[in-house]
Amino acid sequence: MGIRIGVIGAGAVGSTIAYVAMLRGIAHELVLVDALPHKAEAEARDLMHGSMFIPAVTVTSGTVEDCAGAAIVVITAGAKQKPGQSRLQLVETNVATFRNLIPRVLAAAPDAILLIVSNPVDVLTYVSLKLSGLPSSRVFGSGTVLDTSRFRFLLAQRLNVAAANVHAYIVGEHGDSEVPLWSSVHIAATALELFSSPSVPPLTESDREEIFRNVRDAAAQVIAAKGATNWAVGLAVERILEVILRDEQAILTVSSLLQDYHGISDVCVSVPSIVGRGGVRETLPLHISDDELELLRHSAGILRGIAGQLGF
């Protein structure tokens, strides 16, 4: 039997993840599951109509139970925030969904890695971990992998270099309290504060503020213009899947359980972590400024507080 990936939630994000994974040929079978079965079936059929142009991948639709034997189950299901709805109300709605969903996923695919993409991703990752009882290495969220990509793109754009040569991270919550690690930004092998180019003016404090504001508010900006974010998050999640299935031991800012980490415990939050076939192998210690560390602790505290309000 080949590698099977389950994708629960066939909306804009879930179907885009399936599309990118199909193009990359990282699995033999993708199973799409949605609360609207006809939606999942239509997405699967639409994808398979292009099968002559891609590696040999089968995309099907079905129920959670059809994810049986999956190596990874990606969860994008959940309600979107409505106008006037508080963040806590949104969390409560999605936690209720996860209370029903996680046991069904485990019954179908007890050996799977659970990759949480639904928002608020950090809290739902923690909830999934507690509901599943699985080792923390096997339950983690997409976290700030996309935020980190946005950060590198905007820095690269401002400095007129390739994004691949920018080494920078966003840590903490995937949300308003996320933290840019300016103190550790490097352009190739050169620290940001030492980087210079005759054709590019030095980065100012105003530039830094604008770049981070556009990272933090990126999703809201895109949603306001087109209704949803899907392409970049699809690419980010596919990259995580690729790292797992190829056992790359790559460093990604996924959201996973922290214990005694720079004074942070019992909360899922994003920090640079080594990811491979078994999931999150370990989190890496940070060498950052005191101010950044305090902001990270504050971000983790917000998430710990929300989980506590939910009874976890």
Catalytic residues: 174
87 burial class (0-12, 13-18, 19+ CB within 10 angstroms)? middle
Long-range contacts of 294-297 (CB under 8 A, 24+ apart): 295/172, 295/177, 295/179, 296/171, 296/172, 296/179, 296/262, 296/264, 296/269, 296/271, 297/262, 297/263, 297/264
**C-alpha dist (Å) from residue 293 to 87, 142, 146, 181, 265:** 25, 21, 21, 9, 14
Segment (H or E) for 278 = none
Contact 99, 93 (CB under 8 A): no
Work out whether the CA dihedral 6, 132, 243, 175 comes out positive or negative. Answer: positive
Instruction: In whole angstroms, give the CA distance from residue 203 to residue 83.
Output: 37
**C-alpha dist (Å) from residue 287 to 183, 220, 292:** 9, 31, 10
Cis peptide before 202 (omega within 30 of 0): no
Bridging pattern class, strands 170-171 and 179-180: antiparallel
Question: Could you give the maximum distance between any two Cα atoms of the chain, in Å?
Answer: 60
